[in-house]
């Protein structure tokens, strides 16, 4: 080929390739908008009627106009009628008085935020997040909130810090990043550079909470004290703790993989006997577990066939029963208790 022929070929190929890429993108966007135009199957209902005792609040993932909206079902009939709100969250956790809504504020300049909603769904407080939302919890009295996000500014240049976790009250107090708390592991103060904290769960004592601490390739269950600003290790290899309503057990995810690639199973730790029970669900589960009641666990699991879609599953907390589909096309469940 002569240089001129090569140049012409390159121009033609460029136009064809970029043109077909653009055409594909436009058709995908139009297709998505068509799906969005499908009227939601679920009925719309006011926020305060959904975040109410006896309901399960979650993020809806049906492929229609209700995708990504906060929705709810009755705890007694989870596969029955679902109702949706007009509030979009990427991660949600509700307690009767307060709801935490972590959001990806999409746009050409995408940012991330954590938002505290009141019973009417109105934003009361808002925090900027340094990256993708991960976990959030509200204490059972609705007074304290916690949220974790990844630190994802530089996608490729993660220098050892990967998560940021903060605890605040609904009245305006901020306890700041858990990295600034004094960490003690097995009785020794730890100031490792790569400390990470995530997955807070509150207790009925306003000062006490549990969370995950990590440094190196190890993780610990830590007990935190808000007044003293301390974190003390309780047990190794516990991630994303979730305290049972009766506060006797902690459900968590446990890495059972022997290779570098993590594989998480759910386990339950009895705080009085220190006995650990692994649940019989062999799938890789990466979620902060929710207690439906004192005997049943709930967790979200992504669908393999459809990116962005997931289901909520349930499993008996004693480890003696198989998992079962609980709510289809849903994730980030929370059981609203009295």
Partner 1 sequence: MYISLPQRGPRQKNGAPAARVSSVVVTLGVVSMLTDISSESVASILPLYITGALGLSTIAYGFIDGIYQGVSAIVRIGGGWASDRTDNPKWVAFFGYAASAATKVGLLFVSGFAGIASVIALDRLGKGVRTAPRDALITASSVPSNLGKSFGVHRMLDTIGAAGGPLLAFLILYFVPTGYHLVFIVSLGFAVVGVVILGLVVPAIRPRRQSAAAGEPRQPFRWRTLAEPRLRRLMLTAGILAVLTVGDGFIYLVLQDRSPFAAQWFPLLYVGTNVAFFIFAVPLGRLADRFGRARVFVLGHVALLGAYACAALPVGGAAVTVACLVLLGAFYAATDGVLAALASEATPPENRATGIAAAQTVVAIGRLVGSTAFGILWFAVGRELAVIIVAAALAAAIPALLVMVRPLARTAAA
| 228 belongs to the binding site for partner 1 (CB under 8 A) | no
Smallest gap from residue 259 Cβ to partner 1 (A):
8
- Candidates 9, 53, 79, 248; binder of partner 1 (CB under 8 A) is 9
Of 148, 159, 67, 167, the residue nearest 102 (C-alpha): 148
Contact 81, 43 (CB under 8 A): yes
Report the residue number, 80 or 107, with the smaller CB distance to partner 1: 107
Q: Beta strand 296-302 with 310-316: parallel, antiparallel or unpaired? A: antiparallel
- Of 40, 44, 58, nearest in space to 330 by CA: 58
Of 90 and 95, nearer to partner 1 (C-beta) is: 90
Q: Rg of the Cα trace of the chain?
A: 22
d(CA 112, CA 292): 29
How are beta strands 239-243 and 83-88 bridged, if at all?
unpaired
Choices 26-34, 117-125, 139-147, 166-174 (CB under 8 A): range interacting with partner 1: 26-34
By the rule CB under 8 A, 308 interacts with partner 1: yes
Closest C-alpha among 239, 297, 290, 249 to residue 269? 249
What element of type H or E holds 32?
Answer: helix 3-37
Contact criterion met (CB below 8 Å) for 114 and 167: no
Cβ of residue 256: shortest distance to partner 1, in angstroms?
14
Site membership for partner 1, residue 286 (CB under 8 A): yes
Q: What is the largest CA-CA distance in the chain?
A: 81
Judged on CB neighbours under 10 Å (0-12, 13-18, 19+), 137 is buried
Out of 201, 310, 314, 323, the residue judged to bind partner 1 by CB under 8 A:
310
Give the residue with the Cβ less far from partner 1, 53 or 257.
Answer: 257
* Distances, alpha carbon 25 to alpha carbons 11, 12, 20, 307, 328, in Å: 21, 20, 8, 17, 29
Minimum Å gap between C-beta 203 and partner 1 is 25
| Binder of partner 1 out of 122, 158, 248, 295 (CB under 8 A) | 158
Query: Does 160 participate in binding partner 1 (rule CB under 8 A)?
Result: yes
Cross-strand bridge partners of residue 330: 60
If one asks whether residue 104 binds partner 1 (CB under 8 A), the answer comes out as yes
Nearer to partner 1, 120 or 182 (CB): 182
Residues 178-217 within binding reach of partner 1 (CB under 8 A): 191-196, 214, 217
**Applying CB under 8 A, does 252 fall inside the site for partner 1?**
no
Q: How far apart are CA 263 and CA 166, in angstroms?
A: 26
Rounded to whole angstroms, the Cα distance separating 158 from 55 reads 39
130 binds partner 1 (CB under 8 A): yes
Nearer to partner 1, 60 or 139 (CB): 60
How many Å apart are CA 182 and CA 194, to the nearest integer? 14
H/E element, 208: strand 208-215
The nearer residue to partner 1, 46 or 325, going by C-beta atoms, is 325
Residues 63-92 that bind partner 1 (CB under 8 A): 67-68, 90
151 counts as binding partner 1 under rule CB under 8 A: yes
The residue within the footprint of partner 1, chosen from 301, 312, 330, 335 (CB under 8 A), is 301
Among 39, 187, 307, 338, binds partner 1 (CB under 8 A): 307
Q: Which is nearer to partner 1, 76 or 159 (CB)?
A: 159
Residue ranges in contact with partner 1 by CB under 8 A: 3, 6-7, 9-11, 13-14, 17-18, 20-21, 24-25, 28-29, 32-33, 67-68, 90, 104, 106-112, 128, 130-132, 134, 150-163, 191-196, 214, 217, 260-262, 284, 286-287, 300-302, 304, 307-310
């Amino acid at each position: 080929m002569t240089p001129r022929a090569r140049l012409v070929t390159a121009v033609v190929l460029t136009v064809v390739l970029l043109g077909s890429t653009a055409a594909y993108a436009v058709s995908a966007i139009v297709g998505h908008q068509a799906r969005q135009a499908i009227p939601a199957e679920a009925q719309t209902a006011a926020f305060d009627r959904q975040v109410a005792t006896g309901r399960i609040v979650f993020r809806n993932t049906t492929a229609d106009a209700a995708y990504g909206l906060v929705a709810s079902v009755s705890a007694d009939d989870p596969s029955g009628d679902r109702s949706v709100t007009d509030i979009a969250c990427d991660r949600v956790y509700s307690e009767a008085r307060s709801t935490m809504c972590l959001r990806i504020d999409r746009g050409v300049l995408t940012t991330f935020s954590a938002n505290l909603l009141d019973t009417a769904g109105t934003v009361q407080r808002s925090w900027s997040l340094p990256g993708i939302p991960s976990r959030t919890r509200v204490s059972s009295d609705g007074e304290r909130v916690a949220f974790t996000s990844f630190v994802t500014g530089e996608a490729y240049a993660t220098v050892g810090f990967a998560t940021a976790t903060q605890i605040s009250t609904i009245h305006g107090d901020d306890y700041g990043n858990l990295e600034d708390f004094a960490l003690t592991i097995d009785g020794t103060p730890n100031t490792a550079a790569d400390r990470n904290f995530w997955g807070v769960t509150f207790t009925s004592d306003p000062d006490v909470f549990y969370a995950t601490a990590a440094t190196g390739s190890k993780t610990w269950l830590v007990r935190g004290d808000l007044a003293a600003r301390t974190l003390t290790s309780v047990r190794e290899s516990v991630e994303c703790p979730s305290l049972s309503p009766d506060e006797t057990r902690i459900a968590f995810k446990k890495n059972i993989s022997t290779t570098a690639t993590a594989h998480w199973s759910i386990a339950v730790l009895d705080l009085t006997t220190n006995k650990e029970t692994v649940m019989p669900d062999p799938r890789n589960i990466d979620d902060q577990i929710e207690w439906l009641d004192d005997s049943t666990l709930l967790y979200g699991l992504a669908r393999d066939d459809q990116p962005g879609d997931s289901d909520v599953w349930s499993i008996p907390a004693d480890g003696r029963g198989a998992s079962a589909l609980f709510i289809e096309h849903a994730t980030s469940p929370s059981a609203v208790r009295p």
